[in-house]
Structure 1
Amino acid sequence: MADQERTEDLAQLLARLKSEHDTSYEEIARRIGVSRSAVSSWVNRTRGGKRGPARDHLEALAREYKLDRNYVFEAAGRTSPGPYDADAEARILELYRGLTATQKVEKEVEMRALNELNRTGQ
């Protein structure tokens, strides 16, 4: 993509998709599983203050319109979740196995909070 395209925000990205796909914001909303008013608020930059769309909705937008996931997250001002890494998962699981029961509970709470933050942007 050209540098100019790389600087577009989510509102500009949605407007471009609407134009390039000769579609409506209502159709974009339907395809990614949100309300028309949600898409409208993203276009008008009024949705939830700093929060913006949930991770699942950004991923749906990338999938439905065959866009680079990182690009969509960048346009929304969000960091995209990292790729799956089986080796890292195995290392983390091995470390987890060495924790006490109390430490395991604490780490689970922490990981749930981080996942929720990534999912919702809050």
Structure 2
Amino acid sequence: MEDQERTEDLAQLLARLKSTYGDLSNSAIARRIGVAPATVDSWVNRQRGTGRGPRREALQALAREFPKFSEAEIFAAAGRKSPGPLSDEAEARIIELYRGLTADQQRAKEIEMRALNEMNRTGQ
């Protein structure tokens, strides 16, 4: 996927989302995506809290619950890259490559992939 140019931030996207879906409250959005109302409040007020951006799962939940907004659009507004698609063919190639590694190499790749996944999940 090509990087999408960031034209609006998450607060602006949420304002558009609220308008598109009938002036929803921050609490209503929070309930639908499974986060605390204070979390949505912090996004709307552009507060970073502990310095981390929105979690990947929360951004994906926004896309799932409000399908008029794409995952790529939501992630771009949050200043994050969205996870790439994984086709069946790509998965089969990755598994075949993995099988060719030694047990120690497999463990090392698993640790690396876990760290990258955590970095993407938390936005750090």
What TM-score results when the alignment is normalised by the length of structure 2?
0.87
Is 1:16 aligned to 2:16, yes or no? yes
* Pick aligned residue for 1:85 from 76, 84, 87: 87
Tell me the residue number matched to 2:110. Answer: 108
| Distance in 2 separating the partners of 1:29 and 1:40 | 9
What is the deviation of 1:48? 3.6
Tell me the residue number matched to 1:62. Answer: 63
| Distance in 2 separating the partners of 1:75 and 1:17 | 12
Pair 1:7–1:52, CA change in 2 (3 A): same
Q: Give 1:3-82 correspondences, 5 Å limit.
A: 7-20=7-20, 21-48=22-49, 51-66=52-67, 67-82=69-84
Q: From the two aligned structures, give the one with the greater helix fraction.
A: 1
| Distance in 1 separating the partners of 2:10 and 2:105 | 40
Tell me the residue number matched to 1:3. Answer: none
Identity of aligned residues (%): 67
Tell me the residue number matched to 2:3. Answer: none
Alignment check: 8 A CA contact 1:10 1:42 kept: yes
| Distance in 2 separating the partners of 1:50 and 1:17 | 24
What is the deviation of 1:43? 1.0
Alignment check: 8 A CA contact 1:9 1:77 kept: yes
Q: Once structures 1 and 2 are overlaid, which stretch shifts more, 86-95 or 56-65?
A: 86-95
What is the deviation of 1:85? 1.5
What is the RMSD computed on CA atoms of the aligned residues? 1.4
Size of the aligned set, in residue pairs, is: 117
What TM-score results when the alignment is normalised by the length of structure 1?
0.89
**Taking CA–CA contacts closer than 8 Å with sequence separation of 6 or more, which of the two structures ends up with the larger relative contact order?**
2
| Distance in 1 separating the partners of 2:13 and 2:57 | 17
| Distance in 2 separating the partners of 1:50 and 1:12 | 19
Residue type of the alignment partner of 2:83: P
Secondary structure of 1:42's partner?
Answer: helix
What is the deviation of 1:87? 1.3
What is the deviation of 1:92? 1.2
Q: Which runs of 4+ in 1 moved over 4 A?
A: none
